Structure 1
Amino acid sequence: MSLSERKTIDLEQGWDFMHKGITKLKNILEGLPEPQFSPEDYMMLYTTIYNMCTQKPPNDYSQPLYDKYKEAFEEYIVSTVYKELHGKMRDAIISLIDQEREGEQIDRALLKNVLDIFVEIGMGKMDQYENDFEADMLKDTSAYYSRKASNWILEDSCPDYMLKAEECLRREKDRVAHYLHSSSEPKLLEKVQNELLSVYASQLLEKEHSGCHALLRDDKCEDLSRMFRLFSKIPRGLDPVSSIFKQHVTTEGMALVKHAEDAASNKKADKKDIVGAQEQVFVRKVIELHDKYLAYVNSCFQNHTLFHKALKEAFEVFCNKGVAGNSSAELLATFCDNILKKGGSEKLSDEAIEETLEKVVKLLAYISDKDLFAEFYRKKLARRLLFDKSANDDHERSILTKLKQQCGGQFTSKMEGMVTDLTLAKENQTSFEEYLNNTPNTDPGIDLTVTVLTTGFWPSYKSFDLSLPAEMVKCVEVFKEFYSTKTKHRKLTWIYSLGTCNISGKFDPKTVELVVTTYQASALLLFNSSDRLSYSEIMTQLNLLDEDVIRLLHSLSCAKYKILNKEPNTKTITPTDYFEFNAKFTDKMRRIKIPLPPVDEKKKVIEDVDKDRRYAIDASIVRIMKSRKVLGYQQLVMECVEQLGRMFKPDVKAIKKRIEDLISRDYLERDKENPNMFKYLA
């Protein structure tokens, strides 16, 4: 038959003939009863395929035949060859992987080639790889590391165990890089992490001599970093680590509190300052503790929020404990005072002062009674400013900026007002001196400095109508005249308790300059016209209360400098005592300062803060109720606590008391049907 007369073979007809040949070949390969191919069979198959591939379009079936033959070949490989061999391949590969885990050398290239068969068989899908190899490999991995972990947890310390765990994870990653499919990595590591870490997390972290507590105690930063890296990989793995961290920091902080308490108790007999050196050491130690564990959070624990939270909660526990009857708020304010005042116990460079102030403000974040700190700080700031005790104005402004950033503008508004006030007061003093120079007949005969302050900014001070000596009366009158030229709308209230005087004491041995308070000066000047005065005469002439007279007379007759002689010669002041000028007094110094006995201002500060808190609670309740109109008791208390929490932790009983007070003043009313519901009265 010539080529031109060749009959066209369609695809289905030709493939049907070919498929019979393929079936015959499969039977022969599998040893089934089937006669061998004859030369005629070969020739017929060859000719048919050749003709189908060389027919003119559209009857050229070379590509469709290739695709169908490929499908048939793949189907045979998968159903017969792969099915027979994949189990043996899988087991051999897993065995080799375990051998490598035990340190033996294996042919990684061979393993890679064999594993590629699982992937290639899937023809773009991972089903064969995942189902026929990976699932069993992962199961074997779990079993392998379960056996290892059960031995290591008994034999090794926590650091050694973690080193092994980290190395195992590194090696498993390496296996993925060299012969396992990349999709296996997360599943493989999860199995290793589960067996080595999740299963034994509690035992590992709580190992008596080498667990997390011991690592923190012994400052094992490298091991703690490794612990963080490992446990951050497992679900909620960092929860127990952060919990132990919190316990450890709390324990160390409470130990500082106890040590400070014990030291303060031992020093009580010395009758030092109200807040003594031991309390100062306590604050310094707390700062050092915070520095240490904040560094741990930032480095070992990679700045993780869970550890910041743990650090905060730990410090909140012991930073709100008092020491020797002094609240943390007072201790912190006193610590700042010692840094900022001239001659304070904290001798630091400017840079160190700034750094320390920054740390103090960070500690303040943990103290619940921030309003109490503010009041103590304001009292001490007032003394520094009024008595020229502040070492550096820049540092004073710097800490106010830091406090403002931490606690808000309302927190520092009064303190900032005080600093501004003092600047204005200095300008006012300059104007007063110009007034004296330019106005005839105004010279009071005494050098006079007056500091005019704004009442709202400064702490409240007792104001008494002290009967001033004639020399001082003239000073007051002259300044009043000057001030009336500046403003007609402001009233001056003189706070003599804060005044100081330099007077010249003409004693028989020599003249000594005495630096005293206005009260003390007024009392001493009485002896210019009287040689001997009784307690009651001094009290009457000065127009002071008993407690103030006792303090000033004690400072002049019973303390270090006995400017007055007292009858009887005892260490206490009584209303029956008499006093005389001690003409024989002398001292090696030509200028001495005679202090008044210190007054414990703590009670007054706490009273002022309690009063301010009542106002704050009232305002908060009214704000909430004005917005909500009707609210239940529990919800009102909860919102009130939340609103005020930035400044202080309000007592629930105090809130209840303020609610009752607001009801009595017709701001609120109880619901008639439900007494636990409140309505706002506009």
Structure 2
Amino acid sequence: MYSLKPKPVDFENVWSSLRPSVVDIMNMKPISSIQWHHKFSDVYDICVSIPNPLSEKLYNEVKTCIKDHVKLQRKIIENVEAEQLLQEYFRMWTVFHEGAVYVHQLFGYLNKQFVKQKRCTDLENYQNYAPFLQAPDVKEIGCLALEIWREDLVNSIQSRLVQLLLIAIDEDRRGNTPAYSDVVAGVIKSFVQMEDHDFDMKESTNKESSPNKSKKTMECTQFYKTNFEASFLKDTEMYYSNLAQKMLVELSCSEYMEAVIQQLEQEEMRAKKYLTEASVRKVIELCQKVMIKAHKEKLHAVCHDLITNEENKDLRNMYRLLKPIQAGLSVMVKEFEDYVKQKGLEAISRLSGENVPQQFVENVLKVYNKFNDMKTAVFMDDGEFSSGLDKALQGVVNAKEVGLGNVAAKASERLARYTDGLLKKTSKGISDTDLETKLTSAIVIFRYIEDKDIFQKFYSKMLANRLITNTSISMDSEENMINKLKQACGYEFTSKLSRMFLDIGLSHELSTQFEAHLTEVKKKDPKLEFVSTQTLILQAGSWPLSAPQLASGSNTSQTAQELADFRLPRVLQPCIQEFEEFYTSKHSGRKLTWLWNMSQGDIRFSYLDKQYVVTMYCHQIAVLMCFERSDLISVKQISESIGITGDYLLKVLKTIVDASILLSDSTTISQSSNLRLNLQMTSRRIKFRLQMPQINKTVEKEGQEAVANTVSQDRKYYMECAIVRIMKTRKVLKHNALVTEIMDQTKGRFMPDIPFIKKSIEDLIEKMYIQRTDQNDEYQYLA
């Protein structure tokens, strides 16, 4: 058994037997395991010999041995012909590098006992501290061998090797791939391996993961960068600069882009085959610089034509080329944005006929779908192009009609009317899947609308009409649409819409309770008769409704006077009176305001050949109840009976005459006209509905005026609340910073202009919510 106890050693004798083995290992000659262990023991004995360790002497002898071996190799390689130099060098290096690994292992104890003690190589981040440590010439045996190889052999033939490598790679670029391409890659790799000082990595794969090994290898590439990479990049730049000039002369722009993409792909594969990972990135960036960035103006010059002609293949190639270049896509994005906006404006300029809202939405969606698909297929859903598409469609949707000045764009109203058409009961059936798709598409356009508060006004008014008249296609669909709006704009935007739904649900419950109450009342007094009713209790602050007497504007104020003395038909009075008492008993302190102009009822005609059922508004019911005892009545008598006067009464009468329920003795109904019951009336439908009397001249004008009367005031309140909220949080704020925060908070509802913001600030200063400070353009919150 071998003893580890230190003992005296005859160095000359032991080294004379150890040296030939070192040379054999360097030449990768076979050695038995017994010999290996004996030589390992010899190294140990020398390092721990007594009375004095002989480690330093052994280190110097090993160094001399390796130097002598490399000198012999250099003499051989210097006489090799140029045609065989790469192959011969690679063969020699492969043998030497593997031999150096084994020699490093053989002298492992010397490395640990002598070299590390001298060099402190066990320090973390040794490479950073190495220049400041003692004994800079003392290296571990493996590293020493690689350094000697580099200094004594490679430096003498380095220029010849690099030249041959560049020639081989150039031939590869020209399509003549060398048969010894693995040799070329191996020689280039050797330039990196020469500086790999972490030989322990080769002894154990468990010490570090592959990424860490790779990182350390990449850090030791100074010789590779200085002696090969710099020359290679210079040669590459010259080659591709000349190639680009030649291709620009011979090829069209489309062909040039395809050729460049092909060259880049080939060069990347070539770089991965021959070079380090860091060099691959440098080569690609260099090729992009000389073939794309240097000529991007020529690519930009044809960008407009490619986009307007929708040459998707060429646009995809141009995108791939310009994407890596800094600010390379700016021209493409601008051309794309302008083209989308142009097509969008053309699409909405052709609107005509009665169904303008549907045409508007469908035309905008066609543009959106087309260019959104193009953005995905051609521009890979790039964020810059997504932003360009959004800006273009925002410009299209919010475009104002020529000649209307500062009048708000009609997109809000059109989209509201489009959704109203979808969610109303119609004769045309639509599946749930199609309805969901159309509502989702409507939200796409909604997101582009700047004046979302105007949309909210129109939508809430139309929703109220659907809920009151029970013409919604389904409550689930209504709730689905509100949820979509909530996701797009938040809870505050839809809070009133949600409360409208709540009111309808509570009203149904209340109506059920009232029916039960009437049953109890009839039991007590069977003589009482009540008309079957369903009453909707609507919160005044949640619904966009008001009694005519509370409305504003010249037309509606006149109507309020004409309806001031309206008398409810006798048949409805007991039920209404009973309901008011019932409701007051349940909710004390609340005031009921009846909206007779919105109230409807079903009237059954029993005097004709068929029993028709007609749905009509309360004022129309009051008119028809006048004909219970007489078939011929004058307009003046009707007015005195129901308490309605003026033009509004004539409009009510006209809706009934237009339905052929009444006949007039004159073509135009006036205060002197006489009306008689049409006893010969016929209709193809047993059940039908009368139109609502129009207070204003047209439905569109009514909608626009109603919204215009409230949006301006709502915006003023919303703006002032936003300013106070910001200033209460910040206490002191500069003017520009305040304007920026106001824009951020209000853009979800509308886009305010600067004069409006300034006026709101001035108003709050007058109301003493905020004040100016001594600093220029600065405001302070007043608690």
- TM-score, normalised via structure 2 length: 0.70
Shift of 1:168: 1.6
Partner in structure 2 of residue 595 of structure 1: 691
The amino acid that maps onto 1:626 is: K
In the alignment, which of 742, 752, 760 is matched to residue 650 of structure 1? 752
3-state SS of 1:618 partner: helix
2:412 corresponding residue in structure 1: 329
The residue type equivalent to 2:520 in the other structure is N
Conservation of the 8 A alpha-carbon contact between 1:535 and 1:575: yes
The Cα offsets for residues 599-636 of structure 1, whole Å up to 9 and x where unpaired, read as 33221023222221111112122223333444454443
Cα offset for 1:406? 1.7
* 1:459 Cα offset (Å): 0.9
Please give the alpha-carbon distance, in whole angstroms, between the structure 2 residues aligned to 1:369 and 1:303.
27
Deviation for aligned residue 1:516: 1.6
Partner of 1:368: 450
- Say whether residues 1:253 and 2:361 are aligned partners: no
| SS at structure 1 position matched to 2:350 | helix
2:494 to 394, 412, 421: 412
1:384 counterpart residue number:
466
Letter in 2 for 1:191: L
Structure 1 segments of 4+ aligned residues over 6 angstroms from their partners:
6-9, 74-81, 323-326
Letter in 2 for 1:129: Y
Shift of 1:257: 2.1
Contact 2:631 2:676 in 1 (8 A): yes
Aligned AA (1:106) = P
Displacement after TM superposition at 1:389 (Å): 1.0
Partner of 1:144: 239
Is the CA contact (8 Å cut-off) linking 1:630 and 1:679 kept in structure 2? yes
Q: How has the CA–CA distance of structure 1 residues 491 and 189 changed in structure 2, closer, same or farther, with 3 Å as cutoff?
A: same
Kept after mapping to 1: 8 A contact 2:605/2:612: yes
Letter matched to residue 592 of structure 1: F
Question: How far apart are residue 677 of structure 1 and its match?
Answer: 4.7
Q: Deviations over 1:292-318 (max 9, x none)?
A: 444444554444433332232222211
Preserved CA contact (<8 Å) 1:551 1:596? no
Match of 1:459 among 526, 535, 544: 544
- Quote the offset at 1:113 in angstroms: 4.3
- For the pair 1:102 / 2:174, whether they are aligned, the reply is yes
Most deviating of 399-408 and 105-114: 105-114
Match of 1:435 in 2: 517
Amino acid at match of 2:535: V
Give how far 1:540 is off: 4.8
Further displaced range: 533-542 or 380-389: 533-542
Equivalent residues of 2:356, 2:414 under 8 A apart: no
Residue by residue over 1:641-662, the C-alpha shift from the partner in whole angstroms, topping out at 9 and shown as x without a partner, is: 2221111112333333333333
Matched position secondary structure for 1:514: strand
Q: Is the 8 A contact 1:504 1:511 kept in 2?
A: yes
What is the CA-CA distance between 1:133 and the residue it aligns to?
Answer: 2.5
Q: Residues of 1 paired with 2:537 and 2:617: CA distance?
A: 18
Give the aligned partner of residue 36 of structure 2. Answer: none
Deviation for aligned residue 1:535: 4.5
Distance in 2 (alpha carbons) for counterparts of 1:338 and 1:404: 20
Q: CA deviation at 1:189?
A: 0.8
Aligned pairs for 1:609-628 within 5 A: 609-628=711-730
Residues 361 and 402, structure 1, Cα contact 8 Å, conserved in 2: yes
Structure 1 residue aligned with 2:575, among 472, 475, 500? 475
- The question of whether the paired residues in 2 share the 8 Å contact of 1:115 and 1:180 is answered with yes
Structure 2 letter corresponding to 1:316: Q
State how many pairs are aligned.
612
The answer to whether structure 1 residue 242 and structure 2 residue 300 are counterparts is no
Shift of 1:409: 0.9
Counting only pairs closer than 5 Å after superposition, residues 268-287 of structure 1 correspond to structure 2 as 276-287=354-365
- CA deviations on 1:82-101 (whole Å, 9 max, x unpaired) are 55643344333323322222
Cα 1:427/1:154, change in 2 over 3 Å? farther
Match of 1:290 in 2: 368
Contact 2:616 2:691 in 1 (8 A): yes
Contact 1:338 1:344 in 2 (8 A): no
Give the Cα–Cα distance (whole angstroms) in 2 for the partners of residues 523 and 605 of structure 1: 31
Amino acid across the alignment from 2:363: K
Which whole-Å deviations, capped at 9, do the CAs of 1:37-96 have from their partners, x for residues lacking one?
A: xxxxxxxxxxxxxxx99x996389454123145458489986787556433443333233
Q: CA RMSD in A?
A: 3.6
Residue of 489, 495, 506 corresponding to 1:424? 506
- Residue in 1 that maps onto 2:123: none
Supply the AA of the counterpart residue of 2:623.
A
- 1:348-400 Cα shifts (integer Å, max 9, x gaps): 32123223322322332221111111111111111111111111211111121
CA contact (8 A) 1:253 1:318 kept: yes
2:185 corresponds in structure 1 to 112
Question: Match of 1:67, as an amino acid?
Answer: K
**SS of equivalent residue, structure 2 residue 624:** helix
Aligned to 2:423: 340
Cα drift, residue 171 of structure 1: 1.5
Whole-angstrom CA distance in 2 between matches of 1:653 and 1:602 = 24
Equivalence map 1:350-361=2 (5 Å): 350-361=432-443
Q: How far apart are 1:586 and its partner, in Å?
A: 3.4
Secondary structure at the aligned position of 1:184 is classed as: helix
Give SS of 1:527's match: coil
For residues 254 and 204 of structure 1, the distance between their equivalents in structure 2, rounded to whole angstroms, comes to: 27
Contact in 1 for aligned 2:303/2:332 (Cα 8 Å): no
Q: Residues of 2 paired with 1:675 and 1:131: CA distance? A: 59
Q: Give 5+ residue unaligned stretches, structure 1.
A: 1-5, 12-51, 268-275
Is 1:523–1:538's contact at 8 Å kept on the other side of the alignment?
yes
Is the 2:357–2:417 contact (alpha carbons within 8 Å) kept by the matching residues of 1?
no
Q: Is the 8 A contact 2:299 2:318 kept in 1?
A: no
After the TM superposition, which residues 11-160 of structure 1 pair with which residues of structure 2 at under 5 Å, given as runs?
A: 58=54, 61-68=57-64, 70=66, 73=71, 85-107=157-179, 108-116=181-189, 118-119=191-192, 125-160=220-255
Equivalent AA in structure 2 for residue 462 of structure 1? A
Displacement of 1:211 in angstroms is: 3.4
Q: 1:563 to 1:389 in 2, by over 3 A?
A: same
1:20 corresponds to: none
- Residue matched to 1:307: 385
The CA deviation at 1:452 is 2.0
With over 3 angstroms needed to count, the CA separation of the structure-2 counterparts of 1:509 and 1:439, relative to structure 1, is closer
Shift in alpha-carbon separation, 1:541–1:662, aligned structure 2, 3 A: farther
Q: Give structure 2 stretches of 5+ with no counterpart.
A: 1-9, 16-45, 75-146, 198-219, 550-563
| Aligned-residue offset at 1:410 | 0.9
